Amino acid sequence: MDLVPGTSKTIRVGFRKNADDVAHQLAEILGVDTVIGADAAAHVSLLRETVREELALALEHLGMDPQDMESRVEQALCDVALDGTRKPSGLSGGQTRRLALAQVAIAEPPVLIVVEPWAGLDPDSRERIASYLGTLKETAVILVEHDTSADNILALARVAPASERITISQLRAKRGAKPRRWWHLQAPESSSFEVGPVDLKLRPGGVLWLRGGNGSGKTTLLRAAAGLDSNEPVHPSIAMALQSPMDQVVEPTIGAWVQEPDLIPDLPLEEHPLDVSASQLRVAQVAHAVALRRSILILDEPDTLLDARGRMMVHRLIHNALSASASIVLTCHDPAFVAEVASYAKIDEMNLAN
C-alpha cells in the first residue's frame, strides 16, 4: 500500500468481517501500532482530571518540551471543538470519539488507522473531524469502515401507530453524578451537566426521534429513563440498546443473548458476540432488546457500526417491534437512516438544544 503523509485512504469491509480485526491486521503488515478502534472510549486513559491533561498525556510520554506541548494541546482542542476543562468521564459518546482521535493524532504518528471514524458524530462533528484529519500533514490516515454503499430497498409494510399516547413527564438526568460509596472519604464532586426537565410523548407502534448535537444530553436522558446510572426506570416495561453494543454483552453466544433466534436467522448463533463483526454485533444487540418485548424500546444510535446488510436487518427488527406495538425512542445523526424508518413508521421529533 502506497502511503503518503498528509493523505487518507478508505477501506470498506463487508458484513462478516470485523473492522477492528482488519485494522489490526493492516497495522501488523505496516509495522505500526497507532489504531483507534470502534470502541473509542477504550483509548481514553481516564488517568487525568481534564480533557486538556488527557491530551497532554501522550506528549508527556514523548518527553516534549512543555511550551511546545501546551501549544499543540490548545490547537488540538480547537480543531476537535472540545472544552479542555471538562472531565473525560463526563463526555458524550461523540465527544469521546473526538477526544480519542485527537489523543492519538496529537503525537503525529507516521500512520494512523481509524476504525468507523464517523460513528456517533453529528454533522458538525463529522465536518470538524474530516477537516482535522486533513491538517495532519505528517501522518498518512487510513479509515476502516463497514460498506454502506448498497441501495436500501425496504419492502416493509407501513405500521400505523395507536392514537393514545404514553407521556413520560418531567424527565431529568445528570451526567457525571456518582453516589457516595462506603470506601469514599469524601463525597464525589457534583455533576457538571444536567438535562431536563423534558416530557417524552410516545405512541405504541410509533417512533420518537430524539434529536440534538453531540453533548446535548440525549444519551444521559435516555439512560436515566431506562433506570441506569442510579436512576429509577420511568416505566415498568422498558428496554434499551445502548450506544456501545459491547457494553451489553452478557452471554457466551449470540443465540443465548437473543431470546428469539428467529429474529436473526443470518447471524452465527454459536459465536461469542465479541467474536463477530461490529455490524453483526449491533444487529444482535438490537435483536436482544427487541426480543425482551417491552412496551418502550430505546435505541441509542442503532445505525452506527452497520454495513448495508446489517442496516437492512436493523430496519426489519425495528419494524418487528413496532408491529408488536412497542413505542420506540430513537437517537440518530444520520438523516438518511431516519428517512428509511419514516418509509414504514410514523415519526415524531423532539429536539434537545446543546
Clarify whether residues 202 and 142 are in a common domain.
no
Clarify whether residues 28 and 66 are in a common domain.
yes
Clarify whether residues 27 and 80 are in a common domain.
yes
Flag whether 158 is in a domain.
no
Give the confidence band of 175 by pLDDT, cuts at 50, 70, 90: low
Alpha helices in the chain (DSSP H): 19-30, 51-61, 66-80, 93-105, 123-134, 218-225, 254-257, 278-291, 308-323, 335-342
Is residue 119 a contact partner of residue 95, using CB atoms and an 8 Å limit?
A: no
108 φ, ψ to 5°? 55, 60
Mean predicted confidence (pLDDT) in 48-56: 93
Give residue-wise pLDDT tens across range 242-256: 999 999 999 999 999
> What is the residue whose three cell numbers read 462533528?
125
Cell of 100: 480519542
Is a pLDDT exceeding 50 seen at residue 184?
no
Mean predicted confidence (pLDDT) in 30-59: 89
Flag whether 161 is in a domain.
no
CATH of residue 259's domain is: 3.40.50.300
Flag whether 64 is in a domain.
yes
Clarify whether residues 14 and 99 are in a common domain.
yes
Give the confidence band of 323 by pLDDT, cuts at 50, 70, 90: very high
Structural domain span for residue 16: 8-146
Is a pLDDT exceeding 90 seen at residue 229?
no
Mean predicted confidence (pLDDT) in 65-75: 92
Flag whether 207 is in a domain.
yes
Clarify whether residues 132 and 180 are in a common domain.
no
Flag whether 152 is in a domain.
no
Q: Which three-class secondary structure string do you get for 147-214?
A: CCCCCCCCCCCCCCCCCCCEEEEEEEEEECCCCCCCCCCCCCCCCCEEEEEEEEEECCCCEEEEECCC
* pLDDT at residue 90, rounded to an integer: 85
Clarify whether residues 22 and 67 are in a common domain.
yes
Clarify whether residues 226 and 141 are in a common domain.
no
Flag whether 154 is in a domain.
no
Clarify whether residues 288 and 346 are in a common domain.
yes
- Count, residues in the chain: 354
Of 111, 146, 181, at which residue does a domain stop? Answer: 146
Of 113, 146, 179, at which residue does a domain stop? Answer: 146
* pLDDT at residue 354, rounded to an integer: 60
Q: Domain count for the chain, please give it.
A: 2
Is a pLDDT exceeding 50 seen at residue 183?
no
Of 89, 111, 146, at which residue does a domain stop? Answer: 146
Flag whether 156 is in a domain.
no
Distance from C-alpha of 269 to C-alpha of 263, rounded to nearest angstrom: 11
Clarify whether residues 236 and 265 are in a common domain.
yes
Clarify whether residues 184 and 53 are in a common domain.
no
Mean predicted confidence (pLDDT) in 9-27: 86
Flag whether 175 is in a domain.
yes
Q: In whole numbers, what is the pLDDT of the chain averaged over residues? A: 88
Clarify whether residues 201 and 321 are in a common domain.
yes
Clarify whether residues 19 and 94 are in a common domain.
yes
* pLDDT at residue 192, rounded to an integer: 56
Q: Whole-prediction pTM value?
A: 0.77
- The four Cα atoms 22, 309, 345, 261 give a dihedral, to 10 degrees, of -90
How many angstroms separate the first and last alpha carbons of the chain?
A: 42
Cell of 222: 435516555
